[in-house]
Structure formats: C-alpha cells, structure tokens
Structure 1
Amino acid sequence: MSVALHPIEEATMANPYSEIFKVPGTKGFASAGFVARMPMAMAPIGIVAMLSQTHGEYWLAGAVSATYALTNAVAAPQISRFVDRLGQTRVVVPTTLISVLAFAALMAAANQDWPIWTLFVSAFLAAAMPSIPAMVRARWSEIFRDRPELNTAFAFESAADELVYIAGASLSVGLSVALFPEAGMLASTLFLAFGSAAFIMQRATEPRVRQLELGGSQGSAIRQRPVQIITFALIFVGAIFATAEVSAVAITKDLGQPGAASLVIGVYAVGSFVVGLIVGALNLKMPLQRQLAIAVGIIALTTLPLLIANTVPLLALAVFVSGVAISPTFITAFGLIERRVPEAMLTEGITWVMTGIGIGMALGAFATGWVVDNFGAQNGFWVSVAAGTVSLLTVLLGQKTLAGERYRVASPAPVPQAAE
C-alpha cells in the first residue's frame, strides 16, 4: 500500500538546488552569469600568458595584468553603485562594450607590437568590466528575499565562483600555450561579450531600482558599518586563500616535488566547493552573524596544522581541512550583506566584499612571498595564522552591528522594460 507524503516531508526530501531553479528565468540568468564571469579568472593570467610570449618580458606582463586587476578592484564598486541607481541593463551594456573593445585593442597591441603605453591604456580601459557575480546575486535576492532559498542560491553562486577560478585560469593558459598567445584572452573576451549579452536579455528577472527613504544614507555602500566589517574581515580571508597557494608552491619545491603544488591547491578548492554545496542544502536557523563567526573561527583554527605539514600528503590534508570553511564564510557573508545593507545599495555592497577578497589575495600573496624569501617556505603559513586571527577578531567585535537591521526603502522605481 502506498503512503502519500505530507507536503512538508516532500519539501524536506526535495533537492534544494533543483527547487530554486523551478522559478521561471533563474536557469537563464544563472547560466548566462556563469559564462559572463569567466574573465574574472581568465583575464589576469591570460594577459600574463599572452605578453610573456609576445614580448618575452615577465615584468611587463605582470605590470599590465596588475594595471587591469587593480583598476577593476577600484572601479567595480563604483560601477555597481550606478547599477543600483540606474538598473543593470543601462550600466552593463556600455561598460561591457568598453571592456570588450579594450580587450580587443590589448590583443591587437600585443600581436602587432604597438607601443608599450597602448598595452597599459588598453588594460586600464578593460577594467570597466562590471561585477557579474554581484548582479547575479542581486537577482537571486530579488526573487528569494527573506526566504531560506536565498541561502541555497548564494551557495550555488559560491560554488560557481569556485568552478570559475578552478577552470578559468587553466583554460586561459592552456589555450595560449597550445594555440597562439592571444588565444586565452580571445576566449575570455568572447565569454564576456556573449555571456553579458545573454545575461541582460533576461529582463524579467532584473531587479527593480529602489530609492532610499529620507534619512537613509545616500552615499556609497562602503559607508555602511556592516559592509565595512565584512569587507575588512574578508580581506584577511582572501589573504589566507593566497597564502595557501604561494606556500604550497614553495614547500613542494623545497620537498623536491614541485609538480605536487597543483594537486595541493586543487584539494584546497575541492574542500571549499564540497562543503559549500552541503551548507547550501541545509536550512540553518542560527543567526547569520553567528554562522559567520563560527565559519571564520574554523578558518582561523585550521591554519595551525599548516605550520607542521612537512610532507606532501600532510600538506594536502592540512590544506584540505583549512579550506572547508571558505565557501561557508562567503555564503554567510553575502547573506549578511543582503540582510543588513539597504536594498538600494545591494549590488554595490556585494561588490565591495568581493573587492575585499581580491585585495586580500593580492596582499596575502605579497606578504607570503616576502616571508618565504626571508624565513623559509614553511614559515609562509604564519601569514595565514595572523590573517585568520585578525579576521576572527573583526567578526567577533562586529557581532552587535551585524545583528542590526538595515535601512528600509521607499517604493520601488521600475526600470523601463522592453516591449513584450
């Protein structure tokens, strides 16, 4: 005899990831957003791979790549601020067009041996690329605001970011080496152009523009205390991420097994990816600020075993363990931004946090490299310990602020829609 399941039991048994994609339009903007964000991982390393082959000078390749990355880190939050005020389509179209044309000019300059200054100008203009991950998360927030499904959606996006960084860099370098120097950058630019075009065509899920009520802050989202706290904390989480990569390369080289570095870095990403998906499938009732404190606390605690990992197997195990809380940290951090930041500033708020992660990775790589050069490969992980401690203290001291309420917003101002 068959027994009918209670609706609550059916919901419990259902795959939460399949549930969020039952909403019309979600598959379209999520898949387009995945393609459009590929340049996040492909462009910086693609510039290095291209110019190191065409010009034979790594300092030049690194300088041009840094020009692009640092300019984008500064510009992305400002672009997202305009997105919040004007709507996604009105900002994504011109900024993406500028970025695509600048990338094309950069490839032409490299191929045709144009003057060096054209490389830097092209890289500077290419940094107009908007933050697609922030806009994708804004769409999920519009659909599932104040609902448990939003946690699952953010977990999916964190997993997508992990896949982009795992596959994007390898694809970019692989194409440049196997085909021709500009191949990686060409693929990255095509992903940006076609992915962004497909994304903005999904007009039905585009968030409406919201205006702050009188009395709400009209300035940048970075002036919001929750954004400051979370961004500062995630700068140091980003530093931990970079430290693991740099130290893994240095230690495996010292152990006479340099080829093992890619394996060690791979398990770091895999641990974060798997645990992030699991957390996204759970409907945790604990307040998000406490979840963030626990996740960052685990990150800080798991940096300690890295100090005694003196063989490749031990290093791989320690790095795997230290990576398990990375995705949960990002998921809860973005969830807090969504709940504590005015809705009229959501895209910019998310972008600031992502910028913080990128800044932390750059600073962490620099600091770890200095420590490794001066004190040995194994001591590079002390940067992770210090960064984990600062990040945890930041989150703990900010618990009261992160538990507060966000500004309320006025009635939405609709974005002009294309005729059906």
Structure 2
Amino acid sequence: MTSPYRAIFAAPGTRAFSAAGLVGRMPLSMLGVGIVTMISQVTGQYGLAGALSATVALSGAAVGPQVSRLVDRYGQARVLRPTAAVTVVSVLTLLAAVRGGAPHWLFFVCAVGIGATPSLGAMVRARWSAIHRGAPELLHTAYSFESVVDEIVFILGPILSIGLCTVWFSEAGPLLAAAFLGIGVLLLTAQRGTEPQPHPRAHHAGGSALRSPGMPVLIGVFVGTGSVFGAVDVITLAFADERGHKPAASLVLATYALGSCLAGLAFGLIRPRGTAQGRFLLGVCLMAVSMIPPLLVGNLVFLAMALFFSGLTIAPTMVTSMNLVERLVPRAKLTEGITWTSTGLAIGVALGAALAGRVTDAHGASAAFAVPACAALLAATVAGLGYRRLHPAPEREEPRGGYDDGHGTIGAHDAVDGHGGVA
C-alpha cells in the first residue's frame, strides 16, 4: 500500500470499520440490479422491473436522510440496527411474494420497505471525517479510498447478483444482498471506539442540512448523475439480453466500475490543484461527454470499452463532491449532508431506471442510451449554473490565520489531537 493510503489507516480501528463498510455496502449495487434481474427472469417485464427498482430508490430518497439525521442525533449503533432489520424483512417478504406469485401491488409494498436501507457509505465517511478532520490531505485520501471501495462494490455486486439470479435461482441475488447488509451493520455498529459522537442538541436548532449553502445544487447534480447510473444498469442488462448473452451484463457493468476504481486510486495519490468547486464542475462536464460513445456502440465488447472510459470520470467527481459536502454543512449534520447526496443519486436512479425501462420496452436498448446521455447533460447544466453557490458553512469559513487548500478550511486555532482530529 502506498504511503498516503498507509497514513490514513494509522489511526486505530480504521481498517475494521472500513472493512465492515465494504460488506454493508454490497446491497448498494446488488439490490436494484438484483430486483431487475429477478423480475425480468420471472415475468419478462422490464417496465415492471424498472418501476420496482425506482420505488426502492424513491423510498430510500425519502427515508435515508431521516435515518441519517437520527444517526447524527443519537449515534450509529442505536439507529442502524433497527433500520437494517426493516430492510432485511422487506427483502425476504418480496422474495417470498415473487416465489409465490403474489399480486404486483405487494411487490411495491415490499419495495417501499427496502428503501429503509441505511447509507453505510455515509456512516463510514463520517467516521473518517471525525478522525482526519484536522488533516485535509489525509481526508482527501480517505474519501478517495472510500470511492474505490464503492467501485469495488459496483464491480463485485452486479457480477454476484446477476450471476446468482441467472445461474442459480431468480431470488438468489437479492437474498445475498440482504445477508450482506445485516452482517455489515452488525460489524460496523459493534465498533464503538470510532463512532462519531452524536449531537442531540445541535439538531434542535438550524434545521436540516438542506439549509446549508450549495446543497440544493449538489443534490440537483446528483439527481442527474443517479439517472445515468440507474439507466445504464437497466439498459446494459437489456442490451446483453437482446444479443443472447444476459449473464455477460454483469461483466460489462463491472468494466464501468473498474474504470472508476482505477481513477479513484490514482486520484487519492495526488494533491488536486485549484478549487474544489472548479474540479467539481470539470468532473461533471467530463462525465457528460463520456456518455456520448455508448450511443454509438453495437456490441457488448465496444459497450464495455465505452463504459470503462466513462467510468474514469466518476470517482474523482464523487471524491470532490464529498469534500464539498464536508465544507458545506455543519459538522453536527455531516452524516445527514452526505446522505442527501445519496438521496439525490437515489432519486436519479429511480427516474433513470424507470424511464430507461420504458424506452427499452418501446424502442430497444440501443435507443435507450439516449436516456443517460440526456441525464448527464442535465447534471452538467445544473453544475454550470449553480457552482458559484458552493460556499462553506459559517463554521467552515476561513478564520484569520487559516488557509483553504480546496478540501476544507483549517484555521490557526485548530489544534490537532493524536488521532488526526480537531481537539
């Protein structure tokens, strides 16, 4: 492991909570595509599959930030266990309903419950922020590492979920995802030494993290970005199915995540130049340009190549986004702030998956690649119009004698303790 990555793991407990986060985040890439695969296997209706995936995402968009607000207020252990239990029970009920041929309305009820899935990525990033708050370069590397973990999840998750659903039995992918969630939450919440301190009083004043400057802009961009992700998942599965190689869809999606994974590893080794706002705008625009090649491909090999190069733009943009959130919201609301970006993604995934499913059913998978291309253009437009509003929260403003390196403002009065945090 190269030195910047070795440095972030010097603090006790960091390896353990990051590993738990990896396990607990597997449903992030497994549940949606697993439900799509399962429903398409059983019913052959991509429209229904996309609608269920969209319902899960919309439910998560509504419930996720509220769960994270409770986490900021009461702590991770007290909140994550019961919410994860709701998700696991909902997944098991959905699988039983599909297996038993229950009416479709019951599928949607279960999908709403699945939306209670807690954002393990936000929980892990909140722990990194608490540990390395006084060292912005280490925090940048930590966020880069977690972006790589996200991409590992998106490499392995679709392969496992689609592969198990198509090779073993239709419900196998979502079933394994539920097991990963339960195990990951239990492992993470058992580690109390690195859990951020709750802030019960801070949540009586100031309202939601949404009131912080620039958060609506970030969320709008993430809606467009999520639409790209949701649409690409559904379309790639249908694209492979049309060509008689449905299981190969997992490998194509893995190349998409692999590109982002490699870019994230490289990004964590450098000290980015310029402002975080400027890097954010550049990254979103490059993501938009990268969605043009998939419109032109005609087979799975070229689609995999196009998505790999598109993936190279993802991780640096996501890392920069997390650095912006860390600046935009008060520390007492950091978990909620990070989750709001996930909420924007979830809303986008819902819209992208549903629209892509309908366009695919009506016009075929190749034509449906216009959906993620338009969504990426929308994200770039929102970023271009609103990036000047990405100002830090009052407590993150540069104090006298401080400096801003583009990752966060560090003042001369901030004393760094032995764990890399601010004393």
Q: TM-score w.r.t. structure 2 length?
A: 0.80
Are residues 19 and 102 of structure 1, via their aligned partners in 2, closer, same or farther at CA, if it must alter by over 3 Å?
Answer: same
Which residue is 2:144 aligned to? 155
Q: What SS does structure 2 have at the residue aligned with 1:68?
A: helix
Change (3 A) 1:212 1:398: farther
Query: 2:339 & 2:331 partners in 1: Cα distance?
Result: 14
Q: What amino acid does structure 2 have at the position aligned with 1:195?
A: G
Letter in 2 for 1:232: G
AA at the equivalent of 2:337 = G
In structure 1, the residue matched to 2:184 is 195
Listed one character per residue, the Cα deviations across residues 90-123 of structure 1 (whole Å, up to 9, x for unaligned) are 2112212333333344445555667766554444
The residue that corresponds to 1:166 in the other structure is 155
| Unpaired segments ≥5 residues, structure 1 | 1-12, 410-420
Inter-partner Cα distance in structure 2 for 1:38 and 1:66: 18
Look up the SS of the partner of 1:282 in the other structure: coil
**What is residue 409 of structure 2 aligned with on the other side?**
none
Please state whether the residue corresponding to 1:23 is helix, strand or coil.
Answer: coil
User: What is the correspondence of 1:260-299 to structure 2 with a 5 Å cutoff?
Assistant: 263-299=251-287
Residue 327 of structure 1: how far off its partner (Å) = 1.1
User: Shift of residue 196 of structure 1?
Assistant: 0.7
Q: CA deviation at 1:89?
A: 1.3
Number of the residue aligned with 2:384:
396
Any idea what the Cα deviations from partners look like across 1:265-289, whole Å, max 9, x if unmatched?
Answer: 3332221111111101212242211
> Do the aligned partners of residues 306 and 104 (structure 1) sit closer, same or farther apart at CA in structure 2, a change above 3 Å counting?
closer
Which deviates the most, 41-50 or 28-37? Answer: 41-50
**How far apart are residue 205 of structure 1 and its match?**
0.6
Q: C-alpha displacement at 1:161, in angstroms?
A: 1.5
Instruction: Quote how far apart the aligned CAs of 1:317 are.
Output: 3.7
One-letter amino acid of the structure 1 residue matched with residue 140 of structure 2: N
CA–CA separation in structure 2 for the residues paired with 1:296 and 1:111: 41
Which of 84-93 and 45-54 deviates more? 45-54
Counterpart residue type for residue 286 of structure 1: G
In structure 1, what is the Cα distance between the partners aligned to 2:138 and 2:170? Answer: 43
Q: Tell me what 2:420 maps to.
A: none
Contact 2:71 2:335 in 1 (8 A): yes
Residue 336 of structure 1 and its aligned partner are, at CA, apart by 0.5
Asked if structure 2 preserves the Cα contact closer than 8 Å seen for 1:102 and 1:126, the reply is yes
Q: 1:306 to 1:130 in 2, by over 3 A?
A: closer
Tell me the residue number matched to 1:24.
Answer: 12
1:202 counterpart letter in structure 2: Q
Matches within 5 A, 1:326-337: 326-337=314-325
Query: Per-residue deviation at 1:357?
Result: 1.6
Instruction: Give the whole-Å Cα distance in 1 for the aligned partners of 2:43 and 2:243.
Output: 33
Distance in structure 2 (CA, Å) of the matches to 1:384 and 1:185: 25
Which residue among 3, 21, 24 is the counterpart of 1:33?
A: 21
**1:212–1:218 contact (8 Å) kept in structure 2:** no
Q: For residues 330 and 217 of structure 1, do their structure 2 counterparts lie closer, same or farther at Cα, with a shift above 3 Å needed?
A: farther
Q: Equivalents in 1 of 2:101, 2:362: separation in Å?
A: 38
Q: 2:337 aligned with 1:345, yes or no?
A: no
Letter in 2 for 1:235: V
TM-score by length of 1: 0.80
Out of 208, 214, 222, the residue aligned to residue 220 of structure 1 is 208
- Contact 1:171–1:184, Cα closer than 8 Å, also in 2: yes
3-state DSSP class of the match of 1:398?
A: helix
Residues in 1 aligned to 2:17 and 2:329: alpha-carbon distance in whole angstroms: 23
Contact 2:326 2:334 in 1 (8 A): yes
Q: Contact 1:212 / 1:344 at 8 angstroms: preserved in 2?
A: no
Given the alignment of the two structures, is residue 76 of structure 1 paired with residue 42 of structure 2, yes or no?
Answer: no
Deviation of the 1:76 alpha carbon: 0.8
Deviation at 1:87, TM superposition (A): 1.3
- Counterpart pick for 1:363 among 327, 351, 367: 351
- The aligned counterpart of 2:175 is 186
Structure 2, unaligned stretches of length 5 or more?
398-423
Q: Match for residue 30 of structure 2? A: 42
Amino acid at match of 1:192: L
Question: Following TM superposition, by how much is the alpha carbon of 1:249 offset from its aligned partner in structure 2, in angstroms?
Answer: 5.8
Q: Tell me the distance in 2 between the aligned counterparts of 1:110 and 1:260.
A: 24
